[in-house]
Amino acid sequence: MDRMDDTLIDVPRGLTNVVAARTELGDVRGHEGFYHYRQYSAVDLARERTFEEAWHLLLFGTLPSADELAAFQARIVGGRSIPDPVRELLPAIARLTAGADPLAGLRMALAAVAASDGSRPLYDEDGDARTADAIRVAAVTPVLLAHLHALSEGREPVQPRDELGHVAAYLFQVTGREPTAQEERALSAYMTAAIDHGFNASTFTARVIASTGADLASAVGGALGALAGPLHGGAPSRALDALDEIGTPDRIDEWVRGTVADGGRVMGFGHAVYRTEDPRSRMLREYAAAFGGPRVEFALEVERRVPELLAQLKPGRELHTNVEFFAGVVMEQCGIPRSMFTPTFAAARVVGWTAHILEQAAEGKIVRPSARYVGPAAPVPLPARG
């Protein structure tokens, strides 16, 4: 037997606040409006360090020296290459997934890369091989996303430029032009802030799959499947859709009241964990405001007015903007099309997933919870046929 009945413990629906594992990678302190990667504030890292430095921190436990950073960047560049057999498959994948979940093509492409690379189960690898797999998957992910995006639009994909950093290379591939320093800095801040955020659904999924000893790409593929769910991913584009629907400042009140009356959700406001302002939103508001222009000014006006209205319509619930609201504004200002918002989030979060996968694989224990049966009493004799 897997367990004795009297050892079962009932837990809240959705496992809310249930501690399912120990981690050294970071934590979210929702009531404080704070989260961190290892011992450092995630927002401070996003503001003051590069994406690669935060990546190195999660993977190896330390911020890199100049020499270590150069060596790490070289490993990332080396991991960007798409195997020729996979490159030949990408047009077909783009056609198959046209109009579908934007992450569906990435799941297929990553599985193909893993097969082409001869990836082995985590169970059969040592720590160095697992780390190499983690860098490879996280490095090639944005390249695959940019290729699939270009192919879906009937364009020839732009190859990444080795001399560009991870974020700039991705932005160059997606937009087809070299990003400005402001665009690179703003997108780097967003992507660094999106690397990890506690035991969310996709991270937990990745760890469960990793606990079985499966290959790393399979664990990432499972995380991508979880991220595809509307309750987990996709909100940045929906937040901008809301701005489009509102249209002008004089329609804010009417739109919000109508949406709430119809039982709809005002996208970009409220968070399952934070009971104060989302620290990521606070930071990205500053990057958005620096771009200026009518679109940004309108977003700032919506962000100011909507909480006032929600306080009237939903008294007792303090709702602030979450990361998705200004993330959408920042990505739009950087030239990223709306269809690539969630893929851009995935290109950042894959670094966090792979770090969690490595931590779970090192533990060597399969995740095997129990469920309390609440169906008809058993056993019941089988009825006679006929």
Percent of the chain with pLDDT over 70: 94
200-235 pLDDT per residue, tens: 999 999 999 999 999 999 999 999 999 988 778 656
- Residues shown for the chain: 386
Residue 311 CA: distances (Å) to CA of 179, 246, 270: 40, 19, 12
> 69-73, 88-92, 143-147, 310-314 — which is least confidently predicted?
310-314
pLDDT confidence bin for 4, thresholds 50/70/90? very low
Higher confidence at residue 373 or residue 80?
A: 80
Which one, of 51, 21, 30, lies nearest residue 349 by Cα?
51
Helix (H, G, I), strand (E, B) or coil at 313: helix
Active site residues: 271, 324
261-275 pLDDT per residue, tens: 888 777 767 666 656
Percent of the chain with pLDDT over 90: 72
Distance CA 83, CA 297 (A): 44
Distance from the first to the final alpha carbon of the chain: 35
* Buried residues in 6-30 as b, exposed as e (16+ CB within 10 A): eeeeeeeeeeeeeeeeebebbbbee
CB atoms within 10 A of CB 374: 5
Distance CA 215, CA 221 (A): 10
Task: Please report which residue ranges of 228-274 form alpha helices under DSSP H.
Answer: 235-246, 252-261
In the chain the domains, ranked by start, together with CATH numbers, are 26-228+337-363 (1.10.580.10), 235-333 (1.10.230.10)
Burial class (CB in 10 A: 0-12, 13-18, 19+), 138: buried
Residue 343 CA: distances (Å) to CA of 331, 339, 362, 386: 12, 8, 28, 54
Which one, of 109, 125, 111, 204, lies nearest residue 157 by Cα?
109
What pTM does this model have? 0.91
> 137-146, 219-228, 254-263, 354-363 — which is least confidently predicted?
254-263
- CA 87 and chain centroid, separation: 25
